[in-house]
Amino acid sequence: IPQKAVCDGWNKEYVCCQSWLGTGPMVSDMFNVYPTDARVNTLRSNYPYGVVGTNKGISGDPDHHALGKLGTSAKSGVSCTVYEPDDRYKGDFARTFFYMVARYRNNILNSGDGSAMFTSSPTDLTSYSLSCLLEWHRNDPVSEKEVDRNQGVYGEQNNRNPFIDYPELVEYIWGNKKGQAVDLEALTLEFLQGTCIAEEPQPDPEQLYDFIINLPAITAAYVNAVPGGSANSGIQSNGN
C-alpha cells in the first residue's frame, strides 16, 4: 500500500541499499536492516548518505515530523542528492557500513549512486563517504541500543559487528591509527571495562580474527595481535 505521509506505516530499510549489493547472504543480513518510516524510506530512495547543505526537507505535518534531511551535499565529492540521517543514528549507520565493507567486500557494487559510497577493485569506501562515516562514528559513539541490537542479531545469525564491540578498530582500519599494530588485548580490556558491555557470551577474539582477515591493509598487524598468530601464517579468508 503506498504511504503518502509520514507515520502512515513502516517497513524495513537497507542501510547499504539493496541495489548496491550483489547476490548472497548480504541481502538478508540483519545488521544491514533497520525498521523505518515507510514514507521516509521511499523519499530516501537509493541516494548516497552525506551531510546536507541545502535541505529539500522530508514531508510531515507538525505532529508527525520526519527526522533526517534530504538535499544537496555540503561536502565536495558528490553532485547528486544525499540523505542525512538523524544525529542519533549517524554512528549506528556508520558502523553498519564499516561492517558491510569488511564482511562483504567483494560483493558490494559501486554502480549508480553507490559509486559515491564505494570504490571498486577492490571495494572500499570512497574518500567522500569515509569523511562522513568517520565523523559520524566519532561523534555518535556506541549506545546501549546498539549493544542490545548486536547481541540480538548474534542470537539469530551467530555473528557480531566487531565495530560495535570494538569501536576503536575503525581507527586502525580507516582512521587516524591506520598502519599501526592492533593491540587486541588492550582493546578487549577497554571493551570489558567500558560502558558497552554485552551480555554473555563475550566476543571471541579468534572469531573476530576470522571476520577481519578480509581486510588486507591490517592483516599482518592483526595476525600479530592474535595469540599464536603469525604475519606469515598463510591463513586466508574463509569466503563468508
Share of the chain above pLDDT 90, in %: 21
Share of the chain above pLDDT 70, in %: 68
Q: Give residue 150's pLDDT.
A: 92
What is the per-residue pLDDT across 63-98, written as a single tens digit (0 to 9) for each?
556 778 888 888 888 888 898 998 999 999 999 999
Please tell me whether the overall predicted TM-score, pTM, comes out greater than 0.85 for this model: no
Q: Give residue 96's pLDDT.
A: 94
3-class secondary structure for 177-195?
CCCCCCCHHHHHHHHHHCC
Residues 6+ apart with CB under 8 A from 35: 10, 11, 12, 13
Number of DSSP helices (H) and strands (E) in the chain, helices first? 9, 5
Grid look-up 540480538 returns 152
What is the per-residue pLDDT across 111-151, written as a single tens digit (0 to 9) for each?
677 888 888 767 788 999 999 999 999 999 999 999 999 99
Beta strands across the sheet bearing 81-84: 52-55, 69-73, 81-84
C-alpha cell at 6: 509520514
- Give 198 or 55, the one with higher predicted confidence: 55
Task: Please report which confidence band the pLDDT of residue 235 belongs to, taking 50, 70 and 90 as the band edges.
Answer: very low
Q: Give residue 2's pLDDT.
A: 53
C-alpha cell at 76: 565536495
